[in-house]
Structure 1
C-alpha cells in the first residue's frame, strides 16, 4: 500500500490522478485531496439535469465528470476526498463498507459516532457526511468518497438545486440526503490538514507495510495530458451524458410564450420543436435546421444564434432570451 496527500487542489488534475494510478500502476494506493469549488457528476449522469446551471455559471463553478457512478457532489476547500485503489478477486472487488472502515475508525477514535449506513453512505447522528462510489478496472477497484469536514452546506444545496421536469432520460439521478459537517462534532477543533494526517495514521495502522508515495515528474506530465484530453473536455463532462429530451416552457417579455423540445444524442441536438405565439410558423423549420447537430452547450448555441437574423423567425426575440429558453 502506497499513501500520499495530493499537493494539487485542481479538481481535474485530482480526478485524472485517480484514473492514471488505477490504470498505470500495479500498486495499491490510498490518497487524499481537497479541491477548489467544483461540481463532480457521476459517470452515468446527465450533467445538465443535475446542476443549477444559472448559479454555476454566475459563480464560475467548474463541472467535471468522474470515472465512477453515483450522484453529483459539491467539492470545496472544506471537503476532503479519499481514494482507495486495490487489487482483488474479480467479482469481489466492490466493498463500500470495507474501504470506508478506516474513515469510520478515525472518527470513532476522535469520539465521533460515525456509522456506515445504506449502500455506501457514512453518517453522523443520522446525517450524511460522506458518499462513496467505485469503478472496477480489470482486477482492481477504485473506491473514492467525499468527507464533508467544514464545507459550505448552503452553497452545496443551492448549486445542486435543479428542475427535474425539464429533462427526460435514463441517466442516474442523485438522491438528496440531509448532510452535516464533521467539524460540528469535534470536541477539540482541528483543521482539515490535521484531520488528513489522522486519516493517514489510521491507514498506516490498518496496513502496516504502507509506504509514502510521491508523484514523479513523468507521472505529473502524463496526468496533465489526461487532464487536458479528458477531464477538462466538454465532450466528457457534458457530452458523455446519456441521450435525453429537454422540455421547457418560457414566459417572455410582452406576453410572449415559447415552448422548446429538444432531443439530445451524444451531446448534440438531433431534433427540436418550437411552439408559441412569438414564432413565424412558416419559417421556423429553417431556423431549427440551423441548430441541428450543435452541441447542447450554451456557447455553441449562442454563437449560432448571434450569426442568425432572428427577426426572420421570431417576433422581437433576442439571442439572450432564446438561450435561456434552450437551457
Structure 2
C-alpha cells in the first residue's frame, strides 16, 4: 500500500502467536484485561482499521485483501464475497450479517472484518475463528455492557463460535490450506514470493507502526463519558471536559469504521462553545471528508447532550 504499488489485488492468509488486536478507535482500558494478557504472554497491538477488538492465535487465521481503488469509501462487499464463497466451497455453512461479520449455521459469529484506505488502496482484513484458545480469548477480552445489552447477550462467548465444529477432523493448518486453495481456485492469479529485502523492510515497518507508541493514551479519565450502540454502525463513545462553557479534550472511541483522525477531531472541537448548534457545525464539517459509517453529526451531538445517561460521570 505504501511501497510496492501492485496494480493487481493482493490476497494473503496469515496467523499470529496469541495476540489481542485493538481497533483504531478503541479504548484499551475498556476492551482488554491488561493484567491477564501480561501474565499470559499475549501480545497487544493496535491495527490501522476501525472495528472491534479481537483475539487471535495459531488456532485461527486472518485474511487480507489489498485492492487499488479510486473510491474513498468503506465497502465490505468484495472481501466478504471472496471469503464467504471460499468457505462455502470448502464445506462450511456461513452467511454474512447486516454489518461486517460472518455467522455460522446456528447463528454464532465466526468472522469479523475491518477496512481502511491508504494511498489509493483499500485494505480489507478479517479474522476466521477456526479453533482458537477459548480460555485465552474469553479472559483477555472485555465486553462493553452497552453493546452486549443492545445485542441481547451477556458475554462475547455467547455470540462467537468455532468453524472447527463443522470440520472436526481438520487441523488449523489444513483449514488454512483448503481455504487458500478455494480462494485461488476462483480467480486467475500468480504467486508473489517475498525476498530477503522484502522481509527486512516488512520488519522495519512493523517496528515503526506496531511496536511503538502508547496504547494506553486513550484511557485517561475525563469528566464526561457518553456512549451508545447504533445498529449497523457499532459502539461510539465520547469522553470530554466542559470548562468555562466550552468543550475541551474530546476523545472519540468505538468499534465503528471511518478514516477520521481522532486527534484532529479532538483539536478542531477544542474550545467550541458548549451549545448543540456550535458543536454540530464543527462535527458536520469534520465528517464531510471522513464520514463515520452509519453515524451522523446529529447523532454525535445528541450523544454529547444526552441527559440521564447511565454512563455519564460528573
Residue 33 of structure 1, aligned match among 14, 20, 31: 14
Q: Indicate yes or no: 2:190 matched with 1:211.
A: yes
Q: Indicate yes or no: 2:222 matched with 1:245.
A: yes
Q: Indicate yes or no: 2:178 matched with 1:198.
A: yes
Equivalent in the alignment of 1:77: 58
Equivalent in the alignment of 1:306: none
How many angstroms does 1:89 deviate by? Answer: 2.9
Equivalent in the alignment of 2:42: 61
1:234–1:206 CA distance, 2 compared to 1 (3 A): same
> More deviation in 113-122 or 23-32?
23-32
Of the two, which has the highest radius of gyration?
1
Q: Is the 8 A contact 1:64 1:232 kept in 2?
A: yes
User: Which whole-Å deviations, capped at 9, do the CAs of 1:41-85 have from their partners, x for residues lacking one?
Assistant: 001111222101221222122110001111100011111100000
Mapping of 1:166-315 within 5 angstroms? 176=156, 178-186=159-167, 189-208=169-188, 210-235=189-214, 237-239=215-217, 241=218, 244-245=221-222
Find the residue that maps to 2:36 and give its secondary structure. helix
Q: Is the 8 A contact 1:44 1:242 kept in 2?
A: no
Q: Indicate yes or no: 2:79 matched with 1:129.
A: no
How many angstroms does 1:25 deviate by? Answer: 1.9
- The TM-score normalised by the length of structure 2 is 0.62
Q: Is the 8 A contact 2:89 2:182 kept in 1?
A: no
> More deviation in 139-148 or 191-200?
191-200
CA RMSD of aligned residues (A): 2.9
Q: Distance in 1 between matches of 2:194 and 2:47?
A: 21
Q: Indicate yes or no: 2:83 matched with 1:106.
A: no
Q: What runs of 5+ residues in structure 1 fail to find an aligned partner? A: 1-21, 166-174, 248-262, 268-327
> More deviation in 97-106 or 156-165?
156-165
- The TM-score normalised by the length of structure 1 is 0.60
How many angstroms does 1:229 deviate by? Answer: 2.1
User: Which whole-Å deviations, capped at 9, do the CAs of 1:151-184 have from their partners, x for residues lacking one?
Assistant: 122321211126879xxxxxxxxx9460011111
Q: Indicate yes or no: 2:138 matched with 1:138.
A: no
Find the residue that maps to 2:16 and give its secondary structure. coil
Q: What runs of 5+ residues in structure 2 fail to find an aligned partner? A: 147-154, 225-240, 242-248, 252-314
Q: Is the 8 A contact 2:61 2:129 kept in 1?
A: yes
Q: Is the 8 A contact 1:116 1:122 kept in 2?
A: yes
Find the residue that maps to 1:225 and give its secondary structure. helix
Equivalent in the alignment of 1:148: 129
User: Which whole-Å deviations, capped at 9, do the CAs of 1:170-226 have from their partners, x for residues lacking one?
Assistant: xxxxx9460011111116x22222222222222223321x11112122211112112
How many angstroms does 1:242 deviate by? Answer: 7.5
User: Which whole-Å deviations, capped at 9, do the CAs of 1:122-151 have from their partners, x for residues lacking one?
Assistant: 010211010000001132100001000011
Q: Is the 8 A contact 1:242 1:266 kept in 2?
A: no
Q: Distance in 2 between matches of 1:162 and 1:149?
A: 21
Equivalent in the alignment of 2:273: none
Q: Is the 8 A contact 2:45 2:211 kept in 1?
A: yes
